Amino acid sequence: MSADNLDKQNLRRVKKIFITLFLIFAAIGILVYSISNTIEKQRKLPSLHTTKKDLSVRGDILSSDNFKISTSKKIYTASIDTRSLDKNKQELFIELFSIYSSIEKKYLRLKIKKSYRRPGFLILSRNISARDAKNLKLLAYKLQKLKVFKAIKLNGSRIVFGLSLFETGETRIYPYEDTLTPVIGYIKEKNNKKGKLKTNGIKGLERSYNSQLNQGVNGVLKGERDILSYIIFNKDSIIQTRKDGQALKLNIPLRLQKNIELMLDTYKTKLGADEIIISIMDSTNGKVLSLATSNRFNPKKIRKEDYGSLNVNAIEQVFEPGSVLKPISISLVLDKNRASMDELFFAYNKGKRNKAGEYKEGMIKVGGWPIRDDHKFKKNYLTVQDIVMYSSNIGTLQLAQRLKGAELLEGYHKFGIAKKTGIDLPYEKVGKLPSVYQLRAGENQGKLNVFKATVSYGQGMTSSFMQILKAYTVFNNDGKIVTPTIVQKELTHHPVQVISKKTANIMKRLLIKTVTDGTGKKAIVKGLEIGGKTGTANIARGGRYKRKYMSSFFGFVNDENKKYTIGVTVNNPISRGKYWYYYYASNSAVPVFKEIVDILVKLNYLEPNTAIIAKN
């Protein structure tokens, strides 16, 4: 072999060694770089730990006898990825899911079929109960064993998406449907920023106590996870117990409320009324034992025809109350010692007596306006007792003229008229009274004031049902007024003296006399102390009086231990045909009052004692 050939072979051998060494060093470099890069960068490895939240729910609303009137339950969402669902085992999945969730197979089959147009994530239901969710989680494990779901290639990896369940939020439930509505109110469900369904009160107690009801704290579970992502509890686990929203306990017992509502349903049909409202209040502390209406709705299924029933008309509707205001204006006069019980007031009767020995109804002109009485009297002069018992407009206005305008206005305000009652419900309206300037007109000239006259018997002004009920506690509580409360809590409002105990007891006796001998006779229940006043007022709309009436009866009922103030209003009872007489409160509101007393006796809230009648 020549020297030239040998040199060429050596050169080739050197080149091969050089290339081999280069490739080895390059491979080593790449390996070192990869290892270094992997160490420095955060790797997305499956975590060995997991965190789960236990969402809090809205607090319950309970009756005083511990029945849940409003409550919340957790709801879950069930989902699958249709790309993972084995079509050969689709019917098996539908069959099992339907059994565990109580969702119809037909519905599931159609939902899955539609999803195949755009395969992927599919929500089967957003309203799975906590109990069904627990069972479905067990089903999810069984479906894995049965290989109902297969692996799909996603981002270079093969992944199996099975049946997934997660908390959606909560839903509000009303176990007794329309009971205690609209007082209980209703809620609105909406998704928060984290996509969880939460509830907020819109009306009634759900609204006024919304922050307390929603004042919950979520629970947290942290710890190592097993292969199914369940938390393994050990000494390193973190458990923070969930705390739900504050529960409200009412002063209203469910049994009493249901009995009242069933009775109102019957009377609404009988009287043909637009609405009947009643309330029972403890006269000494203001606790509301019942606040009921004939117009109710199911908060879970509000229909278009329910819209008119969503308001609590006991506080959100104001009207001219009529004669039920007379005891208030008269007691203000008596409390100022501007009249005596044996004083006589001219009834302004005209003409001769009829065959029954009665005068024609009286009529007096005040500021050019004729004011009449609705009743015929057997005498031409009336005492204070007659004025209250027979509901004389003319007698009442004469008494009210003895008060200065400012005194009458201040007195009405002390009784809570045209002022918020303080009841724990939202959207309360206050009503309206004439101004002090209107009530003062002609005061120094000794002229009769028409504003003072009309408000004295409950016209030319407006107030709410609850204002009048609150005012009437004064006559059954030694002259002290109390604040109505629906939810049990520490009382922050203490009784306030409005008129003297002496004046209150005088008016109390007159109201009892009105029941025993006057317009409230149909309210009598033997063995109980009952007093009250009727009122029948025209309903005003658009500045004019309509041939519609608000018939009312407000009063009290007592036994030896309990004292209750009760109010009834019948909105627009039948006032035509053979039932024309229903518009009189004595034929509509008073019988409803009597039924309420009978229910209180039946449920042992009152114990009749014939000795009480003897005392009277």
Q: What is the pLDDT of residue 48?
A: 57
Beta strands 49-54 and 61-62 are unpaired
pLDDT of residue 119: 87
Which of 56-65, 333-342, 532-541 shows the lowest mean pLDDT across its residues?
Answer: 532-541
Cα distance from N-terminal residue to C-terminal residue, the chain: 151
**What is the number of alpha carbons within 13 Å of residue 592 lying toward its C-beta?**
41
CA distance 414 to 496: 9
Mean pLDDT of the chain: 88
| pLDDT mean over 586-598 | 97
Q: Specify which residues 364 forms β-bridges with.
A: 371
Query: Based on the number of CB atoms within 10 Å of its own CB, is 34 exposed (0-12), middle (13-18) or buried (19 or more)?
Result: exposed
- Predicted pLDDT of residue 575: 74
Beta partners for 279? 291, 567
User: Average pLDDT for residues 500-524, to the nearest whole number?
Assistant: 96
- pLDDT tens per residue across span 22-57: 677 666 766 666 655 554 444 444 455 566 677 888
Whether 612 shows a pLDDT value over 80: the answer reads: no
Q: What does each C-alpha distance from 339 to 324, 333, 372, 398, 489 come to in angstroms?
A: 20, 7, 22, 10, 42
Backbone angles phi, psi at 306, to 5 degrees: -90, -10
pLDDT band (50, 70, 90) for residue 217: confident
Amino acid (one-letter) located at 569: T
- With a CB cutoff of 8 Å and minimum separation 6, the contacts of 94 are 105, 108, 109, 112
What's the pLDDT tens digit per position in 269-314?
999 999 999 999 999 999 999 999 999 999 999 999 999 999 999 9
Looking at residue 235, what DSSP letter applies?
Answer: T
- Find out whether 387 and 399 touch, Cβ atoms under 8 Å: yes
Quote the pLDDT of residue 193: 61
> Can you give the residue ranges of every domain in the chain?
50-249, 254-295+313-615
Rounded-to-integer distance, Cα 557 and Cα 42, Å = 78
- Report the DSSP pairing between strands 197-203 and 186-191: antiparallel
Give the residue among 312, 311, 70 at the shortest CA–CA distance from 213: 70
Confidence at residue 239, expressed as pLDDT on a 0 to 100 scale: 75
Residue 245 has pLDDT above 60, yes or no: yes
- Tell which residue, 473, 465, 434, has the closest CA to residue 450: 434
Amino acid at 379: K
Predicted pLDDT of residue 46 = 47
Contact 412/418 with Cβ under 8 angstroms?
yes
DSSP state of 317: -
Query: Which one is predicted more confidently, 417 or 126?
Result: 417
The pLDDT value given to residue 242: 79
pLDDT digit string, tens, across residues 375-405 = 788 888 999 999 999 999 999 999 999 999 9
> For residues 335, 337, 343 and 345, what is the CA-based torsion angle, rounded to 10 degrees?
-70
* CATH class of the region 254-295+313-615: alpha beta
Q: Please give the CATH architecture assigned to the domain spanning 50-249.
A: Alpha-Beta Complex (3.90)
The string of DSSP letters for 294-309 reads S----TTS--GGGGGG
Q: Where are the alpha helices (DSSP H) in 492-531?
A: 501-517
Task: Give CA–CA dist 450/439, Å, rounded.
Answer: 8
The mean pLDDT of 236-263, rounded to a whole number, is 91
Please give the residue that has the higher pLDDT: either 46 or 12: 12
Q: Are strands 231-232 and 563-571 parallel, antiparallel or unpaired?
A: unpaired
CA R_g for the chain: 39
| Number of helical H runs and strand E runs in the chain | 18, 26
| H or E, element range at 390 | none
The crossing angle, in degrees rounded to 10, of helices 130-145 and 90-101 is 150
pLDDT at 608 exceeding the cut of 80: yes
Count of Cβ atoms closer than 10 Å to residue 181 Cβ: 28
Question: Residue 34 carries which side chain, given as an amino acid letter?
Answer: S
